[in-house]
Structure 1
Amino acid sequence: MSDSVNSRPDGRSARWSAHRARRRAELVDAAVAAIEQHGPEVTAGQIAAAAGVARPHLYRHFDDAADLRHAVVDRALALYQAGLAPVWRPQGTPRQMVRAAVDAHLDWLSTHPQLHRYALRAARDVASDHRAHIGVTDVADPVDAARSGIAAHVGALVQDVVRAQSLEVEIAEPLAYGLVSMVDAAATRWMDRPAGLIREEFADQLTDWVWSVFETAFRASGLRIEPDRPLTLGTPPTGP
């Protein structure tokens, strides 16, 4: 038998692989639904019940609990990033861009509070699992990686603005990373302890804080931007 025949894909194997991938995705969907119902302390039994399977069957499509947890975190972050269209494709005036990005983040927290809490907790466990298995100490957790991706995109937009004024762009990266972290930390704290501050009020406050930081950083670099006048930018990088 020739090498070409030996290398030909087995149709049954391909179909089985596709079935396993589809079933794995269905179980992740069930896990997400269980987390939304029961919170971040969800049990394997609750996930199995949401999937309509016996608990032992749950792990036929995952290596172990850590593999399932990793898959759920990846799904949560994919859903989160899909909801950030105002970040990936900003429109309007600078202040409108900031407000739209803030609203998109708060929409996620308001719509998926339990999944957000789960992702924050589980992502650190995922990183710990990787450290334990491959013996490294510099594995970033998936949530930090997602924040870094958002910050890098925002930083590229800031660089575009600064370059248009023939100014140095060194401030763009630390500024973007700082602001993304601030928004995430403040919004997560508000979600857990709103202290009577309704969402619209908080969104107004958070937008003002972000714009104040932008304005201070730009002014220090000799750049003045009108918050309510549309910017002329180059083609921004696209998001996921």
Structure 2
Amino acid sequence: MTTTASRPGPGSRRDPGRRRALLEAADRVIQREGPEASMAAIAAEAGISKPILYRHFGDKSGLYQALAERHTRKLIKGIRDEFSRGDPIRDRTRSTIDTYLATVSKNLNLYRFLMHRASAEDTATHSAMSTMIRDVSRELAEVMVAEGELPDRTRAYVWGHAIVGMVQTAGDWWLDHVDEVPRETVVDGLVDLVLGGLPAAASGARSADEPG
């Protein structure tokens, strides 16, 4: 008997080139129309009907998740590449934050579509985006532990999640003021906050390990 787990998922037998072309059509519409881009507009851009669009991805949720995976993979790679370089910690922190802000501002409508509309409409997409944020936080914490910036693993994880949350929230604010506030100003402020607080966090970790 064939079980559900053994059956291929929606669209799994379809041409990957066609799937990629549909995602590119979705990208164009979202970049042009913003977070309110409709599935009908995406289907029209691709030259197909909305039911056929859904058939390729299973449903609207499947399309949202495919778009999230497509773009978060690129974003995470850029962040990872910058923070994994052998440069001094200040240079890496600066380039990593700058890479993040530059990427989301260049793809503003896609970012808002994925982080706000799709995540609000679809719990699976919200979960995927939350997982991406946690993964970046965890990687940052592991780097800080490995490099001795924060030898206490628990504090490193707290700090890693705090940094990522701070950068994301500050970035969201900046995206609403992008014509008024230079990106460099935001990067400078965030770097000062991160590197100004890191020594205190490390000192607190060492004090906690010392006998009373």
TM-score category (smaller protein) = 0.7 to 0.9
User: Does structure 1 residue 59 correspond to structure 2 residue 45?
Assistant: no
Once residues 50 and 80 of structure 1 are traced to their aligned partners in structure 2, the CA distance between those partners, rounded to angstroms, is: 25
Within the candidate set 34, 39, 43, 2:38 is matched to 43
2:180 corresponds, among 196, 203, 221, to 196
Aligned counterparts of 2:46 and 2:101: Cα–Cα separation in 1: 29
1:147 aligns with: 133
Identity across the alignment (%): 25
Match of 2:190 among 206, 221, 224: 206
Aligned residues: 196
Counterpart selection for 1:126 from 97, 122, 128: 122
Describe the superposition over 1:106-151 as per-residue Cα deviations: whole angstroms up to 9, x where unpaired.
1111211111111112134332xx5xxxxxxxx9611111111111
Cα distance in 1 for partners of 2:136, 2:203 equals: 24
Partner in structure 1 of residue 94 of structure 2 = 99
Give the residue type in structure 1 aligned to 2:185: E
Q: Match of 1:176?
A: 160
* Aligned equivalents of 1:17, 1:194: Cα separation in 2: 40
Please say which structure displays the higher CA radius of gyration.
Answer: 1
**Deviation readout 1:69-91 (Å, 9 max, x if unpaired):** 2211221212222322203x233
1:108 aligns with 2:108: no
The two structures, once aligned, show a CA RMSD in angstroms of 2.6
TM superposition outliers: structure 1 runs of 4+ over 2 Å: 16-22, 52-57, 123-126, 167-170, 193-196, 219-223
TM score, norm. by length of structure 2: 0.81
Write the deviation string for residues 184-222 of structure 1: whole angstroms up to 9, x where unpaired.
Answer: 111111112348221111111111111112122123234
Secondary structure of residue in 1 paired with 2:122: helix
1:33 correspondence with 2:28: yes
Greater shift in the superposed pair: 170-179 or 117-126: 117-126
Cα pair distance change 1:66/1:18, threshold 3 Å: closer
**Shift of residue 17 of structure 1?**
5.8
The answer for the alignment partner of 1:227 in structure 2 is none
Which of residues 187, 200, 205 is equivalent to 1:216?
200
Unpaired runs of at least 5, structure 1: 1-15, 131-138, 224-240
Structure with higher helix content: 2
